[in-house]
Amino acid sequence: MLSLLNLKSKDEIYKLMKRYLLLVILALLTRTLSFAQDIECFILTPPETILENVTKISILDFTGEKGKVLSELMVSELFKENRGIKKLGGGLFQSTREGKTYQKGGRTNIFTVVERSQLEKVLQEQNLSNTGIVDDAQAASIGKVLGIDAIIMGSVSYTSKDEPSKSQLVDLTGKSYTQYCTKRTVSADARIKIVDVNSGKIIGTKDKKSVYTESKCDEKRSGLTSVSAMADMCIKDLAFELVNYFNPHFTYTKYEFEKVKNKDFKDKAKEAKEYIGNGELAKAFPIYRAIYDADPYNAPAAKNLGCLYDIVGNYDKAKEYYSLAAEIEPNTYESDVRRVNDEIAYNQVLTSIGVIIEKQDYAERSDVMADKVKTRGNKNDRYEVKKDPDNSAETVARVPGDTEFMVIDKKGEWILIKLLGGKQGYISRDYIK
Per-residue pLDDT tens over the stretch 157-183? 999 999 999 999 998 888 999 999 999
Cβ–Cβ under 8 Å, residues 308 and 285: yes
Q: Which of 339, 332, 274 is CA-nearest to residue 311?
A: 339
- Residue 95 resides in a domain: no
Q: In angstroms, what CA-CA distances link 120 with 58, 125, 131?
A: 11, 9, 10
- CA 286, 290, 291, 293 torsion-angle sign: positive
How many CB atoms neighbour CB 137 within 10 A? 10
State mean pLDDT over 270-280: 91
Q: Are residues 140 and 230 in the same domain?
A: yes
Structure confidence at residue 198 (pLDDT): 87
Per-residue pLDDT tens over the stretch 26-83? 554 444 444 457 899 999 999 999 998 899 999 998 999 999 999 999 999 999 999 9
Q: In angstroms, what CA-CA distances link 355 with 47, 73, 105, 346, 349?
A: 12, 23, 7, 11, 9
**Does 91 score more than 90 pLDDT?**
no
- Residue 379 resides in a domain: yes
Structure confidence at residue 32 (pLDDT): 42
Residue 64 CB partners (closer than 8 Å, separation 6+): 70, 155, 156, 157, 158
State mean pLDDT over 259-286: 90
What are the strands of the beta sheet with 372-374, ordered from one edge?
Answer: 372-374, 404-411, 414-418, 424-428, 382-386, 395-400
**Does 154 score more than 50 pLDDT?**
yes
Q: Are residues 263 and 406 in the same domain?
A: no
Q: Are residues 59 and 153 in the same domain?
A: yes
**Does 423 score more than 60 pLDDT?**
yes
CA distance 216 to 226: 13
Long-range contact list for 335-342, CB < 8 A, 24+ apart?
Answer: 336/303, 336/306, 340/306, 340/310, 340/315
Q: 182: helix, coil or strand?
A: strand
- Residue 337 resides in a domain: yes
Per-residue pLDDT tens over the stretch 289-311? 999 998 999 999 999 999 999 99
- Residue 367 resides in a domain: no
**What CATH code is carried by the domain that includes residue 377?**
2.30.30.40
Q: Are residues 115 and 219 in the same domain?
A: yes
Most confident of 27-31, 141-145, 362-366, 377-381: 377-381
Structure confidence at residue 400 (pLDDT): 94
- Residue 193 resides in a domain: yes
What is the domain range of residue 412?
372-431
Q: Are residues 175 and 318 in the same domain?
A: no
- Residue 362 resides in a domain: no
**Does 242 score more than 90 pLDDT?**
yes
**What CATH code is carried by the domain that includes residue 297?**
1.25.40.10
**Does 133 score more than 70 pLDDT?**
no
Q: What are phi and psi of 193, to 5 degrees?
A: -135, 130
> Domains in the chain: how many in total?
3
**What CATH code is carried by the domain that includes residue 145?**
3.40.50.10610
Q: Give me the percent of the chain exceeding a pLDDT of 70.
A: 87
- Residue 99 resides in a domain: no
Q: Are residues 388 and 298 in the same domain?
A: no
Q: Are residues 182 and 140 in the same domain?
A: yes
Cβ–Cβ under 8 Å, residues 235 and 70: yes
**Does 96 score more than 90 pLDDT?**
no
Q: What is the CA radius of gyration of the chain?
A: 31
Output the pTM of the full model.
0.75
Q: Are residues 240 and 130 in the same domain?
A: yes
